[in-house]
Amino acid sequence: HAAAERKWRLIFDNAGSGLFTLDSGGGLVEWNPALVRALGLKDEERGISGASLAALLGDEGGRLERMVAAIVEGDEVASADFERRDLEGGSRWLHVVLNAIEGRRDLLQGIVNDITERKRAEDKARAQAERDALTGLLNRRGLERAYSSRRHEYAGTAGLGVLLVDLDGFKWVNDNHGHEAGDELLQLVARRIEGVVRRSDKVARIGGDEFVLLLDDLKSMSMARNIAAKLVDAIGQPFAVLDGRKVRIGASVGVVFTQYPSGELAELLRRADAAMYEAKKAGKSQYRFAFPV
- DSSP states along 152-215: TT--SSSEEEEEEEEEESHHHHHHHH-HHHHHHHHHHHHHHHHHHS-TT-EEEE-SSSEEEEEE
pLDDT single digits (tens) 57-101? 989 889 999 999 999 998 999 999 999 987 677 889 999 999 999
pLDDT of residue 45: 58
pLDDT of residue 292: 67
Place 262 in a pLDDT band, splitting at 50, 70 and 90.
Answer: low
pLDDT of residue 217: 86
286 has pLDDT over 70: yes
Answer for the pair 189, 250: CB distance below 8 angstroms, yes or no.
no
Instruction: Kindly report, as residue ranges, where domains of CATH 3.30.450.20 are found in the chain.
Output: 2-119
pLDDT single digits (tens) 200-255? 999 999 999 999 999 988 888 899 999 999 999 999 999 999 888 899 999 999 99
Mean pLDDT along residues 150-168: 81
Average pLDDT, the chain: 90
Residue whose C-alpha is closest to residue 147's, from 17, 283, 267: 267
DSSP per-residue letters across 23-77: ETTSBEEEE-HHHHHHTT--GGG---TT-BHHHHHT--SSHHHHHHHHHHTT-SE
Q: What homologous superfamily is domain 130-289 in, according to CATH?
A: Reverse transcriptase/Diguanylate cyclase domain (3.30.70.270)
Instruction: Kindly report, as residue ranges, where domains of CATH 3.30.70.270 are found in the chain.
Output: 130-289
Which region among 155-159, 198-202, 269-273, 278-282 has the lowest average model confidence (pLDDT)?
A: 155-159
Mean pLDDT along residues 123-141: 92
Residue whose C-alpha is closest to residue 132's, from 235, 204, 180: 204
**CATH topology (fold) of 2-119:** Beta-Lactamase (3.30.450)
293 has pLDDT over 60: no
Residue 262 or 135, more confident: 135
pLDDT single digits (tens) 170-210? 999 999 999 999 999 999 999 999 999 999 999 999 999 99
The CA R_g of the chain, rounded to the nearest whole Å, is 28
pLDDT of residue 68: 94
